[in-house]
Amino acid sequence: MSAEARSRKSEAGKEWQKLADAIRHHDRLYYQKDAPEISDAEYDALRRRLEELEREFPELQTQDSPTQTVGAPPLETFAKVRHTIPMLSLNNAMSEEEVREWLERIRRFLGLGENEAVPVVTELKIDGLSFSARYEHGRFVQGATRGDGEVGEDITRNLATILPLTLKSHPPEILEVRGEVYMTHEEFAALNARRVAENEPVFANPRNAAAGSLRQLDAEITRSRRLRYFIYGWGEVSASLGGCQSDYIDAFKRFGLQTIAVYLHNMFSIEVAVHAPLAGMMDLYRRVEARRPQLDFDIDGLVYKVNSLDWQRRLGEVGRAPRWAIAHKFPPQQAFTVVEGIDIQVGRTGALTPVARLKPITVGGVVVSNATLHNEDEIKRKDIRVGDTVVVQRAGDVIPQIVSADLHKRPPHSRPYHFPDHCPVCGSLAVREEDEAVRRCTGGLLCEAQLVERLRHFVGRDAMDIEGLGEKQITAFWQDGLIKDVVDIYHLPQKAHLIESREGWGKKSVENLMAAIERSRDVKLAKFIYALGIRHVGEVTAKTLARHYRSYGAWMSAMEQLPGGGEALTELDNIGGIGLKVAEAIADFFREPHNVKIVHALAGQLRIQDAESVAQGSPVSGRTVVFTGTLVKLTRSEAKARAESLGAHVASSVSSKTDYVIAGEDAGSKLKKAKELGVRILTEQEWLELIA
Ligand code: IVH
């Protein structure tokens, strides 16, 4: 293999891994959490790229590659059901050309002549949640979700509120039907309106609402959501129902099941659409697409299936999808509207997200009045301005997006959008780190948008460890004004009577909470630093800081000098394990006077213990050391950790304050500098002897 081919292969391997990880991550969000983060189109693009890579480098394909599996494993809360026949997924075609290629492949596979027709049944592809339902002797006995295609969740009780419990017209002894459960736009809007009124989070789209409603441990909730279903296929069937896909659909209708044919019948008076050749399929595709905005449910394309079951058997499947069927997707739905303003939302972690306020417009049957602009760069890249006429896209899922601005309609004197560098909620500086797309508010302890998250972190087990104050209690206390910032937690004992009269609280639980608050007043410096929730300061960094500065007083006085830069910042940056990025995040935090004020106020409420003095008597305690070059007996991090546990400060650069430079093999500029400054230089062996 040439060097070039090797390098391409290694690049492909890396890309494959990245894609596979991303797809699995999005599968989990979509199938288990009902909360996708990317649009179907973006997801499909990831899958396609993965398939492309595997075609080019077949050795990359593993058995558990996302191309070989469907969806994500089921949740733990429902019993598992193994499908007697796996539930497959569909490959997608995005254009007429790809549908043509699909038909060509079928023709080649079956050895048909060029002019021989391939009769195809056309169905709608409704965007919902697939299920399998088993009937025995005409009675509904079991229902399952698709899960990973092999094993799904047992949702018998839920499906029983949607499907007929008995079938008509002498169905076969065993009949497993497969279909899709979905929610109409009308029901979706009503459900979300109820949720708003009840202060519950709304569903992002009808599909998520259907999924969330179907997978309810309490089936009565499912019943109240008025879901619909249709049947598009089957699994185990004990007696043949005919030789064609369309025969089965007809039979299901006779048994009293809702089939996909109903929709085409209502829309175009077509009973079962069997087409050949392509022109007929494309004609229906365009007619359905034109009607799409008027439909009361989401569809994301058509599904074409080879009608002959004999041919279906011969064609079989490849990977997770049949060769005999394909989904012809619609492009995402778009509409024009005007950007009336750009609002900045501040998330729980302080991220500033721009959201375009739009003149309300209907896109695919759903009224859209907001669209995410993702981040600062995205606005710049698309040059979206207030007053612009823009193309809004709804990809049947997630939050609507802005595709582009129509420059011809741009009002005169419009100006590029200027992204704020202060938090719109609390007014603190909002900073953007290098290599980060997101700008974040630095007013952590004061910013209302982040407060609940900060409070939750503050009281957490690894931080101040206040038992009895969970997210629920914190949110409730905050909403009712009992706590407005972290310091208020220590004023709760004066308000104990107010808490006791609240629902869910009693004398005992209030006493317990007060005791937990009292206990938390004795806190180690490291825990206290960690509890502040400074960006990039996790438990390990907090410990490092505590060890370095030893006492709250020493630490805080150094921190207050940080915003001025200079010595304090250099010292911080020189502590082993603290990089510039972390040092700057800490400096940003202390640059906000409100944060400083709150830290002081907190300290007034607490007894902050000095960090354990590490190995006072060790020969390197209190010394600053720098490791350089390749160490042979220790890894760099081991060496650092050992030195720190003996009380040394490990710095990353050599200065006149450095006590020892430990030079490994191939030491370079740091060694040179140490020589220039007359710093003591030790070999690795000498160092080991010194600390032995
Ligand atoms: S047939 C072996 N037909 O789309 C064939 N699926 O993207 C398997 N879907 O898992 C599926 N409408 O949840 C088929 N008319 C239709 C469909 C349909 C919606 C869903 C189904 C499937 C997914 C694949």
User: Domain coordinates of the chain in residue numbers?
Assistant: 3-69, 92-329, 332-448, 460-520, 526-609, 624-691
Q: What is the mean pLDDT of residues 8-37?
A: 82
> Which has the higher per-residue pLDDT, 414 or 364?
414
Q: Which of 70, 129, 145, 180, when mutated, tests ligand 1's pocket best, judged by the most ligand atoms within 8 Å of its CB?
A: 180
pLDDT of residue 396: 52
Pocket, ligand 1, Cβ cutoff 6 A: 88-90, 123, 125-126, 130, 180, 232-233, 260, 303, 322, 325, 327
**691 confidence band (pLDDT: 50, 70, 90):** confident
Domain spanning 624-691: CATH 3.40.50.10190: yes
Comparing CA positions, the residue from 364, 370, 366, 397 lying closest to residue 187 is: 366
User: What is residue 245's predicted lDDT score, i.e. its pLDDT?
Assistant: 92
Which residues are catalytic, by number?
A: 125
Question: Of 311, 366, 286, 287, whose CA–CA distance to 334 is shortest?
Answer: 366
Ranking 119-128, 296-305, 558-567 by mean pLDDT, the lowest is 558-567
Give the H/E segment covering residue 681. strand 680-683
Tell me the C-alpha to C-alpha distance, in Å, between residue 254 and each of 132, 170, 247, 257, 370: 19, 9, 11, 7, 45
What per-residue confidence (pLDDT) applies to 73? 54
pLDDT above 80 for 171: yes
Atom of ligand 1 nearest to the CA of 125: 12
Q: Which residues 6+ apart lie within 8 Å of 182 measured at CB?
A: 126, 127, 128, 129, 206, 207, 210, 227, 228, 229, 230, 297, 298
pTM of the complete model beyond 0.85:
no
Tens of pLDDT along 592-620? 898 999 999 999 999 999 887 555 567 78
Centre of ligand 1 from the C-alpha of residue 324, in Å = 12
Q: Which CATH superfamily is domain 92-329 in?
A: DNA ligase/mRNA capping enzyme (3.30.470.30)
Say how many residues make up the chain: 692
CA-wise closest residue to 367 among 205, 181, 200: 205
Name the least confident of 21-35, 228-242, 476-490, 648-662: 21-35
Minimum CA distance residue for ligand 1 atom 23: 89
Q: Is the pLDDT of residue 198 over 80?
A: no
pLDDT tens-place string over residues 492-528: 999 999 998 888 888 999 999 999 999 999 999 999 9
Assess whether pLDDT exceeds 60 at residue 158.
Answer: yes
What was the pLDDT predicted at 130? 95
Quote the pLDDT of residue 531. 95
- pLDDT at residue 398 above 60? no
Atom of ligand 1 nearest to the CA of 233: 1
Contact yes or no for 155/214 (Cβ under 8 A): yes
**Strands 389-394 and 401-405, sheet pairing:** antiparallel
Look at residue 602 in the predicted model and tell me its pLDDT. 96
CATH 2.40.50.140 applies to domain 332-448: yes
Which pLDDT score is estimated for 669? Answer: 86
> Whole-angstrom Cα distance, residue 18 to residue 46?
10
Report the alpha-carbon distance of residue 259 to residue 336 in Å, rounded: 35
Q: Give percent of the chain above pLDDT 90.
A: 43
335 to each of 291, 375, 388, 408, how far by Cα in Å?
15, 22, 14, 16
Mean pLDDT, the chain, whole residue set: 87
Looking at residue 270, its pLDDT comes to 57
Whether 426 contacts 350, CB under 8 Å:
no
Which of the pair, 634 or 585, is modelled with greater confidence?
585
Phi, psi (rounded to 5 degrees) for 505: -115, 150
Rounded CA Rg of the chain? 32
Which position has the higher pLDDT, 141 or 197?
A: 141
Q: Which residues pair with 329 in a beta bridge?
A: 301
- The closest-lying atom of ligand 1 relative to the alpha carbon of residue 260 is 15
Distance between CA atoms of residues 268 and 270, nearest Å: 5
Rounded mean pLDDT of 295-304? 89
Mean pLDDT throughout 137-153? 93
Burial environment of residue 155 by CB neighbours within 10 A (0 to 12, 13 to 18, 19 or more): buried
What's residue 263's pLDDT? 61
With a cut of 80, say whether residue 267 has pLDDT above it: no
Compute, in angstroms, the gap from residue 90 CA to the centroid of ligand 1: 6
pLDDT at 121 over 60: yes
Output the pLDDT for position 7.
84
Protein residue whose Cα sits closest to atom 14 of ligand 1: 232
Check residues 87 and 76 and name the one with the higher pLDDT. 87
| Of 331, 384, 390, 388, nearest in space to 361 by CA | 390
Fold of the CATH domain 3-69: Helix Hairpins (1.10.287)
Whether 424 has a pLDDT exceeding 70, the answer reads: yes
Q: Looking at the domain that runs over 526-609, which CATH code has it been given?
A: 1.10.150.20
Give me ligand 1 centre to Cα 112, in Å. Answer: 26
Question: Which residue is closest in CA terms to ligand 1's atom 11?
Answer: 89
The residue whose CB lies within 8 Å of the most ligand 1 atoms, and thus the one to mutate among 40, 85, 94, 125, is: 125
The reported pLDDT for the residue numbered 491 is 95
- Domains 3-69 and 92-329 agree in fold: no
Across residues 482-495, what is the average pLDDT? 92
**Rounded distance between C-alpha atoms, residue 609 and residue 598, angstroms:** 18
Task: State the distance from the centre of ligand 1 to the C-alpha of 125, rounded, in angstroms.
Answer: 6
Amino acid at 248: Y
- pLDDT one-digit tens code per residue, 207-253: 889 999 998 888 888 999 999 999 999 999 999 999 999 899 999 99
Measured by CA distance, the residue closest to atom 2 of ligand 1 is 88
Atom of ligand 1 nearest to the CA of 317: 2
* CATH hierarchy code of domain 460-520: 1.10.150.20
Confidence of residue 344 (pLDDT cuts 50, 70, 90): very high
